[in-house]
Amino acid sequence: MISSCVYAFDPKNRPVKDAEPGETLTFETLDCFSNEIQKEDQLITSFDYNRANPASGPVYLTGAEPGDILTADIKSIEVAGHGVVTTLPEVGPLADRMAVRTKVLKLSGGYTEFNGLKMPVRPMVGVIGVAPEKGSVPCGFPGSHGGNLDSKLMEAGAKAYFPVRTAGALFQLGDLHAVMGDGELCGTGLEIAGKVTAVLGLIKKTRLDWPVLETADKWYVMASDLDYTKALTWASRQMQELISKAYGWDVTDAYFYLSLWGDLEINQACQPCPVPLVLRLGIPKIPGKPLI
């Protein structure tokens, strides 16, 4: 069980475990508030943001080197019996039309209840990735290394791919949500503690610039930036390159295909916010033509 946590993705982080490709690991995670907000009279205004979005790890993957790809095959996600959702001052499109508030929601039988309405629980991993090549990126921020991707599709059964930037990759994850809609408009989902079991793998000498997510029926590239157009450009270029290589098409035909059968979706866009928005660009999986 990996339970030690850090608050940034950093090549200087000391790994808490060495793992071999193909090894199954279980990560015990705190919620995004380090389990410090547990009651409705506790407001985000009293929280130390330096303790936000802790990620369990990092794990040193044997043999991983810059220019490789680390894979994380998510086998299961278990969440605690209750979680919290909060508003964040000056964050989100309705920041001028809300009160600072905390709600505690209990889980039972695969559902939670909000103001008398039942919602199905759909656990997902918000923060996941590897160390950047240099520097330190707080766990609350996304980037080409992964980080706070906040994709509701990062759930059990999905497989994530990350570009290795430093020896051992230094993989870590955290920030679970029991429920979260695309966009995460108020800045939080149903933030919750839990456990994630994943199998780490390694693809040698394969270039990747942005994280990729494989679901049962689609491939997604995930990219981020404070500017929507830039994030869209990064995701589109990465997907264009992957399609061209996998299908043997030139870049213009790949562009046609993206317009015909690609889907642009939003992970997180609680703007205005100091955290960059994250989007995903997806195409259907075609038998016999894996993107990676």
Domain boundaries, position 103: 17-284
Residue 3 included in any domain? no
Report the chain's mean pLDDT, rounded to a whole number: 97
Give the whole-angstrom CA distance, residue 229 versus residue 233: 6
Residue 35 included in any domain? yes
Q: So what's the pLDDT on residue 103?
A: 98
Residue 239 included in any domain? yes
Q: Which residues pair with 29 in a beta bridge?
A: 194
Q: So what's the pLDDT on residue 116?
A: 95
Cα Rg, the chain, nearest whole Å? 18
Among 199, 165, 150, which Cα is nearest to 19's?
Answer: 199
pLDDT in tens, 242-259: 999 999 999 999 999 999
Question: Token digits for 58?
Answer: 């990092």
Residue 47 included in any domain? yes
Average the pLDDT over 6-35 and give the result: 98
Residue 83 included in any domain? yes
Residue 263 included in any domain? yes
Q: How far apart are the first and last CA of the chain?
A: 30
Instruction: Give the chain's domain count.
Output: 1
Give the whole-angstrom CA distance, residue 142 versus residue 150: 9
pLDDT in tens, 263-290: 999 999 999 999 999 999 999 999 999 9
CATH of the domain at 188: 2.60.120.580
pTM over 0.85: yes
Give the whole-angstrom CA distance, residue 165 versus residue 163: 6
Average the pLDDT over 24-52 and give the result: 95
Give the whole-angstrom CA distance, residue 182 versus residue 222: 13
pLDDT band at 66 (very low <50, low <70, confident <90, very high): very high
Q: Count other C-beta atoms under 10 Å from residue 248's C-beta.
A: 9
Output the CA–CA distances (angstroms, integers) from residue 8 to 38, 122, 166, 231, in the order listed. Answer: 23, 26, 15, 22
Q: So what's the pLDDT on residue 281?
A: 98
pLDDT in tens, 161-196: 999 999 999 999 999 999 999 999 999 999 999 999
Q: Which residues pair with 120 in a beta bridge?
A: 111
Average the pLDDT over 214-241 and give the result: 98
Residue 235 included in any domain? yes
Q: So what's the pLDDT on residue 85?
A: 98
pLDDT band at 138 (very low <50, low <70, confident <90, very high): very high
**Helices 251-261 & 228-247, crossing angle to 10 degrees?**
110
Residue 175 included in any domain? yes
pLDDT in tens, 105-120: 999 999 999 999 999 9
At residue 274, the 3 state secondary structure works out as coil
Q: So what's the pLDDT on residue 17?
A: 97
Q: Determine phi and psi for 237, rounding to 5 degrees.
A: -65, -45
Q: Which helix (H) or strand (E) holds 162?
A: strand 159-163
Give the whole-angstrom CA distance, residue 197 versus residue 25: 6
Q: Which residues pair with 219 in a beta bridge?
A: 214, 283
Output the CA–CA distances (angstroms, integers) from residue 113 to 34, 70, 107, in the order listed. Answer: 23, 37, 8
